Amino acid sequence: MAEPTRPLPSLIPLPDGVWRCTSTMTPSEFTVRGLALKPAGSIIPVIVVPGIMGTNLRAKANPQSDEERNKEVGEGAPVWRPPNTDLGGLWDSIIWDDLTPKQRQLRFDADTVEVDDSGPVHIPHGNGRFHVNRAEARERWWGELHADSYGGLLCALRTRLNQTFWREGLEDERHVLEHWKDVMACDPKKWGVREMEPLTEADLEKHARHHFPVYGCGYNWLESCEISSLRLEKRILEIIESWRKLKRQCDQVILVTHSMGGLVARACAKRIPDKIAGVIHGVMPALGAPVAYRRMACGTEAPGVIASRVAKILGETTYHTTPVLATSPGALELLPNHLYPGPWLHITVMQPEGPTGKRETAFDYVHLPDESRPNPYDLYRDTQSWYRLADPELADPAGKFKRKRGGVQKAIEAAVNTAERFHRNSLGSAYHPHTYAFYGGDPREISFGQVRWVGRVEAGRTVLTAFNVAKAKLSVNYSEGARLVTVEHLTDVIFKPEPGDTRGDGTVPHQSGAGPAGKVRQLFETHGYDHQGSYKHDYMLLLTLRLIVKIVQGMP
C-alpha cells in the first residue's frame, strides 16, 4: 500500500540550475512522506495585471520634493487598500464617507502615491496536495494586488498550471488531475460558444513540459495607462532575466488581465510583442465605458445595499468623485473613446403640450444645435456646458492647482489630452497577435451602454427646444446625480441620469467588451458574473486555464 504524503514547500531554484527542497526530519515510525515536485526547466511566467483600484497604493515612502509628499497621510502609509471582507467593507464605507472632497483630492494625488507591495496575501486552502508559500507569493508581488479580488486567481493559477498529471499504483499509471478533467469536460456553451477544439492529453503533455511561476504587477491607476505599461514592461524584462540568471530557459511571459489592466497590457505588448507569448483579457473596457462619465459627473450609482457601501467608498456625489478623477489620466482613459459606438450621450425633456398631452424634446451630443462634435474628447474638455463631465469649481478643493499657470482648467485639459493620446496613439486597434478575450453580455448585469439625462417640466414660461436646452446654465448639483438647469433665465429644469440600459457585467457594456471582435484569436461573450467577480467565476477560471494551454500549443 502506498504511504500517505504531505506537500513540502515549493522548491527553490539555485543558480547552478538545480532545485533545493526544504523538509524536516521525522521519526522512522512516522510514515507520512514529504512530497516535493520538481518543476520543469523551461519557464513561462504568468503575470496577472489587475483593473483600476485593484492595486494597493501608499504615499511615497521617499518623496524627492514637497510636490511628491502626500499631504493627507504620512510617508509610506497606505492610501488605497480595499476591504477584503464584508465587515471590512462596512467599516471602510463609514470611514470613507467621512472624508471631505479636499481630503480625497489630497489622498489620491497621483504625484504623491506609489504601488504598495505590502498588502495582505490571500492563500485559499487547497486540497492538501498543493502548497503556496507566503514568502514566495510576496516575492512575486502578490501583495500589490487586492487580495479578495485576485488572491484566488493567483493561487489557482499557481497550483493548477503546475499540476497536470498524477501517477499512482505499482504500475505507475498516469492520470489527468481533476481540475484539468474539469477543463476538458466543460461545455463550450458555458463560454458562450457552440463548440471549441477539444483539449487533449497530448496538449497537456506539451503544457507539462513547462513551469509556470505566477506573478502580480500592480500600477498607479491614477496615472496614464501609458506610464503603467512601462512599469509592466520593466517587470516582464526583469522576470525573464531573473530566470535566465538561474540557468533556466525563459523567453516569454503570458499576461492575464482584468478590466483596465487590459489597456495597460495592450500598450506594453505593442512595444515588446516578442517577449509575450500571449494575452488573456477579462472584461476589458476595450472602447471605454459610459459609466465612467456617469460616476464623475453624477457620483457613483448605488442600486442596492452593497452598492451603496461601495458608493460611499468611491464617492456618492460629483463633489466627491470630481476632485479625484478630473485630473487623473488613468481614470479618464476609461471613458468612451473615439471608437465607442455613438451617440452615447442623450438629453431628453418632457414638457406639457396643451391641457393633457406631453411633448418630448430630445437630442444627443453629436447633434447639438449649431455644433458638430463627433470627437468625444471635446466633451471631456468642455467645462462650460451644463452636462459637462468635469466642473472646475469642484475639481480643486485642496487648491493644488490654484497657483499654477492656467489653474485647474489647464490641469483638466492636460489630463484629457493625455487620455486622448493614449487612446489614439498607444492603443488604437492594436492587439498582441496571440490574444484571447472574454466579456460579460449578461442581461441580468445591467450596464450603461449610454447615458441619458431626462428632465421633466410641469410648467414654464419658455418653449423648450434643443437649442435653448443645450445652451442652458447649470444652477445646482443635487444628490443622486441630479442637476438643476436654468433655460433662458426663465425656466428651471431638473435633469436626472437614467439607470443603466444594456446587458454587460454591471460596469462594462457589451458594446465595449465586444470591441476586440475581429482583432483577436477568439472572443467569448459570457454570463453569470459581475465585473469585479469575473475571475472568481468557476467557468471563467476554467476558460483561463484552457486558453493558457492553447497559447502554449502555439509556442515553439
What is the phi/psi pair of residue 341, to 5°? -65, 125
Count of domains observed in the chain: 2
Residue 411 within any structural domain of the chain: no
pLDDT of residue 131: 67
pLDDT of residue 20: 77
Residue 160 within any structural domain of the chain: yes
Predicted TM-score (pTM) of the model is 0.93
pLDDT of residue 370: 45
226 in the same domain as 151: yes
Angle at 220 between CA 216 and CA 223, to 5 degrees: 140
The grid cell for 404 is 499654477
pLDDT of residue 465: 84
467 in the same domain as 362: yes
d(CA 490, CA 494) in angstroms, rounded, equals 13
pLDDT of residue 454: 92
Question: Looking at residue 155, which CATH number applies to its domain?
Answer: 3.40.50
493 in the same domain as 474: yes
234 in the same domain as 198: yes
Residue 295 within any structural domain of the chain: no
Peptide bond before residue 4 is cis, with ω within 30 degrees of 0: no
154 in the same domain as 134: yes
Give the 3-state secondary structure of residue 260: coil
Q: Which domain holds residue 27?
A: 5-51+115-287+435-440+508-553
533 in the same domain as 460: no
368 in the same domain as 259: no
Residue 68 within any structural domain of the chain: no
Environment class of 510 (CB within 10 Å of its CB; exposed 0-12, middle 13-18, buried 19+): buried
Residue 194 is classified by DSSP as S
User: H or E element: which one contains 548?
Assistant: helix 538-553
Give the Å distances, CA to CA, from 112 to 70, 77, 195.
5, 11, 50
Contact 351, 493 (CB under 8 A): no
Q: Is the Cα torsion angle 523, 525, 528, 529 positive or negative in sign?
A: positive
488 in the same domain as 516: no
| H-state helical runs in 125-276 | 134-139, 147-160, 178-185, 201-207, 225-245, 261-271
The torsion angle over the Cα atoms of residues 335, 339, 342 and 344, rounded to 10 degrees, is: -10
pLDDT of residue 553: 95
491 in the same domain as 467: yes
Q: Around Cβ 458, how many Cβ atoms within 10 Å?
A: 7
Buried b (16+ CB within 10 A) or exposed e, 266-303: bbbbbebbebbbbbbbbbbbbbbbbbbbbbbbbbbbbe
275 in the same domain as 250: yes
Residue 316 within any structural domain of the chain: no
33 in the same domain as 144: yes
175 in the same domain as 46: yes
Give the chain's residues under pLDDT 70. 1-9, 24-26, 28-31, 33-37, 86-91, 125-131, 169-172, 302-311, 352-360, 362-363, 365-374, 458-461
* Segment 441-454, tens digit of pLDDT: 999 999 999 999 99
Residue 89 within any structural domain of the chain: no
Residue 175 within any structural domain of the chain: yes
pLDDT of residue 479: 76
Contact 366, 374 (CB under 8 A): yes
Residue 93 within any structural domain of the chain: no
